[in-house]
Amino acid sequence: MKNLNRYVVAVSGVVLHLMLGSTYAWSVFRNPIISETGWDISSVSFAFSLAIFCLGMSAAFMGHLVERFGPRIMGMISAILYGAGNVLTGLAIETQQLWLLYVAYGILGGIGLGSGYITPVSTIIKWFPDRRGLATGFAIMGFGFASLVTSPLAQSLMIRIGVGKTFYILGLVYFFVMMIASQFIKQPPQEKITILTHDGKKNAMNSQIITGLKANVAIKSKTFYIIWLTLFINISCGLGLISAASPMAQDLAGYSAESAALLVGVLGIFNGFGRLLWASLSDYIGRPLTFIILFIVNFIMTSSLFLSFNAIVFAIAMSILMTCYGAGFSLLPAYLSDIFGTKELATLHGYSLTAWAIAGLFGPLLLSKTYSWGNSYQLTLMVFGFLFLFGLLLSLYLRKLTTKVV
């Protein structure tokens, strides 16, 4: 595989993320698991929250391991952990062992998610120095779209063979597909990096493909923490909206339960599509301006939900908000590479994903608390609107800071 084509690497990254992104289909499993085991909603939901938390926290050190051992090895480790986590989840359900569910899906699966999520991203950026936004958007898009594939497949399998056996089959599929995809995710050789860099746009940012800062230097800068905070705000509000999309549609816009469920499926399309759309746009107008526009759109759409109770307005606003939620993930690695280079991008990306881990707990909790205080989603939307305004101010400040970072 010496003459590995960069598009093969990119497609392999998409395939890897398609497998991992199946975690967004957890809501499809929730009620069947409850019916089969008798566990309560909060106990089953916690397994997903734990997985997201372990994803973000494990990414903090897995990024360093990607730099040290390479993306192929880390992709294989991810395949083992995520595949085994799903198989053991099936065992936990069939034996009705709640602790095993947390260990299997929450911890093993979560660490598998963390190692696999960051594995292809920094690698693909090095193959596409001329289109870093497009490359990362393309790779991470798979994570957003995955639930569209997994949801109907899992639903069909559960009807035919039961919940536990469904996890056995899915776990094995994830393992084999991820193992194969990982073989094609490799760093470009040094001479290839030089050629790709000179073939792309000749600017100061492209030169950082070869140079760049070390992670331990980059994390000492104010810029890194401003990026971390903007990501945290975008994910917290986005996950909060995702976690309550169906009941919010029914309460605010008069959707039936069936139509609300259909809307949630449609939102998955925009979640995935937004990752590619916003990241591609950022290649043309720059990451700083894209972040500013992102938070302006977030604020306008949240205000629309707050002010209007129309079903069509609700669907449009939520769909656009989902593109903004997905955008944060695809813009992040490209933005980091613009500022700090790609020398230790996987490590930096991992550190920044701790924002996802904390936001995964904070966002849904903030939504539930504000809903209980106001007994409606109006207060929730007001709080999210103020958070998006704060994110906008941070993005404006970040634009000034980035001109000072070398």
Return the minimum-mean-pLDDT range out of 46-60, 131-145, 146-160.
131-145
pTM tops 0.85: no
Nearest to 56 by CA among 391, 328, 300: 328
Residue 318: the pLDDT is 93
Residue 171: the pLDDT is 96
In sequence order, the 6+-apart residues with CB closer than 8 A to the CB of 104 are 84, 85, 86, 87, 88, 89, 91, 92
pLDDT at 362 over 90: no
Q: What is the distance between the alpha carbons of residues 163 and 105, in angstroms, rounded to a whole number? A: 14
Residue 46: the pLDDT is 84
In sequence order, the 6+-apart residues with CB closer than 8 A to the CB of 336 are 218, 227, 345, 348, 349, 352
pLDDT band at 405 (very low <50, low <70, confident <90, very high): very low
Helix residue ranges per DSSP H, 162-243:
163-182, 190-199, 204-207, 215-218, 222-243
Return the minimum-mean-pLDDT range out of 294-298, 337-341, 376-380.
337-341
pLDDT band at 182 (very low <50, low <70, confident <90, very high): very high
Neighbours of 333 (CB within 10 A): 29
CATH of 211-402, one of 3.40.50.720, 2.40.50.100, 1.20.1250.20, 2.40.50.140: 1.20.1250.20
377 or 257, greater pLDDT: 377
pLDDT at 196 over 60: no
Residue 334: the pLDDT is 84
pLDDT at 156 over 70: yes
> In this structure, are residues 193 and 6 in contact, taking their beta carbons and an 8 Å threshold?
no
pLDDT at 195 over 70: no
Residue 60: the pLDDT is 79
211-402 and 6-194 share a CATH fold: yes
Neighbours of 284 (CB within 10 A): 10
> In this structure, are residues 116 and 182 in contact, taking their beta carbons and an 8 Å threshold?
no
Average pLDDT of the chain to the nearest whole number: 85
Residue 204: the pLDDT is 46
pLDDT at 99 over 90: yes
Residues 206-227 have a mean pLDDT of 74
| Exposure on the CB side of residue 287, measured as CA atoms within 13 A | 27
Residue 226: the pLDDT is 94
In sequence order, the 6+-apart residues with CB closer than 8 A to the CB of 4 are 184, 186, 188
304 or 46, greater pLDDT: 304
For the chain, which residues make up each domain, given as ranges? 6-194, 211-402
> In this structure, are residues 394 and 299 in contact, taking their beta carbons and an 8 Å threshold?
no
Residue 212: the pLDDT is 65
pLDDT digits (tens, 9 = 90+) for 158-175: 989 999 999 999 999 999
CATH level 3 topology of 6-194 = Growth Hormone; Chain: A; (1.20.1250)
pLDDT band at 291 (very low <50, low <70, confident <90, very high): very high
pLDDT band at 406 (very low <50, low <70, confident <90, very high): very low
pLDDT band at 91 (very low <50, low <70, confident <90, very high): very high
Residue 403: the pLDDT is 61
pLDDT at 365 over 90: no
Among the ranges 185-199, 299-313, 347-361, 366-380, which has the highest mean pLDDT value? 299-313
175 or 193, greater pLDDT: 175
Neighbours of 153 (CB within 10 A): 17
- Cα dist from 317 to 187, 301, 399, whole Å: 40, 5, 27
pLDDT at 246 over 80: no
102 or 368, greater pLDDT: 102
Q: What is the distance between the alpha carbons of residues 227 and 353, in angstroms, rounded to a whole number? A: 11
| Exposure on the CB side of residue 298, measured as CA atoms within 13 A | 37
315 or 144, greater pLDDT: 315
